[in-house]
Copies of this chain bind each other. A is one copy, B any other.
């Protein structure tokens, strides 16, 4: 039964037979099996059809041999439920009507998760049933600051100038929007756990773009509120800030059970900042799956050495797996972690 419990044990800081491993975006474009399902519909259609979302969620469990599944969805789904029109095109996600003023902020609603995102909850129930206890399923949500920046920019951004301009001219408005987003995510995550998710991850994809004082004011308090609010749900809470290396002291105080690290952050150093009580997750450069097997093996060994056998390490990439990754390299990564990290 090692595989079924390995991930949750590591999240709790317990010793395991071998480090658990999963990959951010493991249900995704690099898999031909995913492409086949995706061909039936568009991206949002896939997110909103529970049977298909469950199908692609399950694929990497068998194909790669990972120790956890993560529900296939997108962090912007609950934002659409707040009343914003959401589109996906070749440039990625977009909100054609970004929020830039008081009226737009006031128009945002706090949706009931069952009413407006019931398809995600149904996908979770179907996935949990199909998994039959083989590995746990992770639920997730975007961190409030990251969602806000998408909502203000209208999509992804290089400099986040609209979001920051609003922060630096109308902080009151930004905080008001963040309050609504936070409450929405909290309800959404609780509903995911009620539907069967056995861990949750909060993705702060753009929090790492903030200066430390702004992270402290606009990102950390809301992430903390979600993590605190999920404490009594009894599942491990993972907080991942992309490019968050220099914010680690503040991230530490957000109180996650597991801190996700991107590939630029030395894992051993991160553990020394975080202390003993928090587990870590990460952090291989996704590009390492594009190189030779020798390089990959050396890098997996380096990653495990950097952790020095301490309990509380969930192995993962430091960011989502890239679309051009050969699936056999992803599988080799999982096998190497289990082999090289096995306790003697």
User: Which B residues touch A287, using CB under 8 A?
Assistant: 159-161, 164-165, 168
Complexed CA–CA distance, A209 and B211 (Å) = 18
Partner of A285, one of B214, B247, B302: B214
The interface residues of chain B lying within 8 Å CB-to-CB of A322 are 159, 161
Partner of A211, one of B211, B243, B285: B285
Q: With a CB–CB cut-off of 8 A, which chain B residues contact A264?
A: 208-212, 243, 246-247
Q: Is the CB of A302 within 8 A of B169?
A: no
Residue in B164, B165, B247, B291 whose CB lies within 8 Å of A169: B291
Within 8 Å CB of A266, what residues of B? 212, 246
A83: shortest Cβ distance to chain B, in Å? 27
Which residues of the partner chain B approach A318 to less than 8 Å between Cβ atoms? 211
Closest chain-B Cβ to A216's Cβ sits at a distance in Å of 10
Report A264-275 CB contacts with B as 1/0, cut-off 8 Å. Answer: 111001000000
In the complex, chain A residues 266-323 whose Cβ is within 8 Å of any chain B Cβ: 266, 269, 285-288, 290-292, 295-296, 299, 302, 318, 322
Does A263 have its Cβ within 8 Å of any Cβ on chain B? yes
How many chain copies?
A: 2
Cα-based distance from A318 to B214 in the complex (angstroms): 14
Residue of B nearest to A290 (CB): B165
Task: Say yes or no for A90: interface residue by CB 8 A criterion.
Answer: no
Taking a contact as CB atoms under 8 Å apart, the answer to whether A290 and B243 are in contact is: no
Instruction: Give the chain B neighbours of A214 by CB distance below 8 A.
Output: 285
CA distance A296 to B208 in the complex (A): 21
Chain B residues within an 8 Å CB radius of A160 = 287
Question: Which 8 A/B pairs are nearest by Cβ-Cβ distance?
Answer: A168-B291, A245-B246, A164-B287, A168-B295, A165-B290, A211-B285, A211-B263, A212-B266
